[in-house]
């Protein structure tokens, strides 16, 4: 499996459902390259970086984390360059790191999550680390020839949802923000979903990139989200 192109400057490594590996994105600036999310393990990161090398692309200078869940962060310790996450993400990661010190917790999450169990079979060690840079609400990264707007906003999936918007390419990365809250019995908060829809509507983007699907047009994603509200 190799990289796929959204544009000449934005590529992605597709998601893999068997071990819940999310899509990993690569944005190529003139000065810096940026990745979205750190993968669910060191093996996932290595696979992504090998795909970059096959395309003659340098390793990312910066990796932005969309939220704290294991499939987006357990590879953070293995990335090249620096990582960026919001304060809430680091708070959740610190709690997760504390829990992982208990071997019974490690066994439990492997048993409860089949994908995690497959990714971390044969006693492969789980390592959780916090980001190198932390922000509160938003920041802008000058990648050279283009900017990346990184910001925290409300979503039904997780309290720490972070979004990455590339204005020049009209691409918005949303992580898993459109999904229900798996850590709250799969609850879909309709107020938060409404808030997320309004945010997406307000942004001038052509493509919306989610963590566990192929890229969607803004129109298709909004149509889908509106249908979820209609079903409630």
Look at 159-173, 187-201, 202-216, 217-231 and tell me which has the smallest mean pLDDT: 217-231
Does domain 4-231 fall into CATH 3.40.50.300?
no
In 37-127 the beta strands, taken as DSSP E runs, fall at: 62-64, 82-86
Look at the pTM and tell me if it is higher than 0.75: yes
Helix-helix angle 190-202:218-231, to 10 degrees: 160
pLDDT tens for each residue of 30-80: 999 999 999 999 999 999 999 999 999 999 999 999 999 999 999 999 999
pLDDT of residue 230: 56
Q: What is the pLDDT of residue 186?
A: 83
Give the model's confidence band at 125: pLDDT under 50 very low, under 70 low, under 90 confident, else very high.
very high
- Strand ranges (E), the chain: 4-5, 10-13, 24-28, 33-36, 62-64, 82-86, 133-135, 138-142, 147-152, 162-166, 171-175, 207-210, 216-217
- Taking the C-alpha atoms of 133, 161, 73 and 172 in order, what is their torsion angle to the nearest 10 degrees? -90
Distance CA 176, CA 209 (A): 9
Distance of CA 89 to the CA centre of its chain: 12
Q: Is the pLDDT of residue 123 over 90?
A: no
How close are the terminal C-alpha atoms of the chain, in Å?
38
Indicate whether 232 pLDDT > 90: no
Distance CA 172, CA 149 (A): 9
**Poorest-confidence range of 4-8, 24-28, 176-180, 226-230?**
226-230
Question: What's the mean per-residue pLDDT of the chain?
Answer: 95
Give the per-residue pLDDT at 184. Answer: 83
Overall average pLDDT of the 218-228 stretch: 92
């Amino acid at each position: 499996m190799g990289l796929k192109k959204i544009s000449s400057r934005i590529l992605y490594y597709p998601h893999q459902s068997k071990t819940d590996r999310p899509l990993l994105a690569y944005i190529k600036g003139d000065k810096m390259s940026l990745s979205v999310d750190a993968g669910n393990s060191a093996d996932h990161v290595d696979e992504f970086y090998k795909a970059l090398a096959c395309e003659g692309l340098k390793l990312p200078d910066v990796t932005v984390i969309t939220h704290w869940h294991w499939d987006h962060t357990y590879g953070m310790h293995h990335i090249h360059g620096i990582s960026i996450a919001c304060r809430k993400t680091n708070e959740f990661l610190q709690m997760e790191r504390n829990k992982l010190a208990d071997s019974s917790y490690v066994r439990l999450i492997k048993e409860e999550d089949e994908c995690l169990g497959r990714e971390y079979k044969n006693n492969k060690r789980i390592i959780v680390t916090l980001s190198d840079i932390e922000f509160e609400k938003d920041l802008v990264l000058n990648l050279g020839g283009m900017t990346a707007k990184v910001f925290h906003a409300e979503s039904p999936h997780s309290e720490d949802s972070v979004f990455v918007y590339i204005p020049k390419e009209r691409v918005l990365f949303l992580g898993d923000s459109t999904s229900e809250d798996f850590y709250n019995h799969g609850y879909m908060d309709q107020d938060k979903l409404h808030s997320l829809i309004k945010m997406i509507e307000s942004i001038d983007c052509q493509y919306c990139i989610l963590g566990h699907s192929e890229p969607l047009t803004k129109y298709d994603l909004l149509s889908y989200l509106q249908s979820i509200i209609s079903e409630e």
